[in-house]
Amino acid sequence: MATNTKLSVHESVEEGAALAKSKNCLGCHQIDAKRVGPGFVAVAKRYSSVDAPLDYLSGSLQRGGAGRWGAVPMPAQPHVSDADARQIAAWILSLPKQ
Ligand code: HEC
């Protein structure tokens, strides 16, 4: 059942994009291509139909982790607050998925 998941919260998407830049996420991630980590469009595609994708992704991007996309682990991001993580996650999930 691939229901189209709409965000029920009103995080600002533009703010999320700016945060991803200022928190250095884009040093390892590109929007539409793999870099060190997965492209954010691919992330949005993989998770937009899971339950509560915003909760999942905001937690996941703070914790970092390994083994979901390849051999390279992502370090935890303790400089990203809960609120900032949710805005970044909302932005990722809003990316157009062709
Ligand atoms: C040092 C490089 C690096 C930095 C900095 C980094 N990432 Fe990652 N990221 C990765 C790698 C590598 C993976 C894949 C990890 C895996 O395979 O599980 C990843 C995975 C992810 C995922 C997918 C997680 C999942 O559950 O599948 C998201 C979302 C993500 N990063 C967001 C971010 C955001 C937002 C930031 C900035 C706050 C950030 N990353 C900073 C390297 C990085």
CB count, 10 Å around CB of 67? 8
pTM of the model: 0.91
Residues 6-62: tens digit of each pLDDT: 554 455 788 999 999 999 999 999 999 999 999 999 999 999 899 999 999 999 999
Radius of gyration of the chain from its Cα atoms, rounded to whole angstroms: 12
Domains of the chain in sequence order: 13-67+75-94 (1.10.760.10)
Task: Using DSSP, state whether 74 is helix, strand or coil.
Answer: strand
Determine if ligand 1 sits within 6 Å of the CB of residue 52: no
Tokens of 50: 């899971």
Candidate from 19, 26, 29 with most ligand 1 atoms within 8 A of CB, to mutate: 29
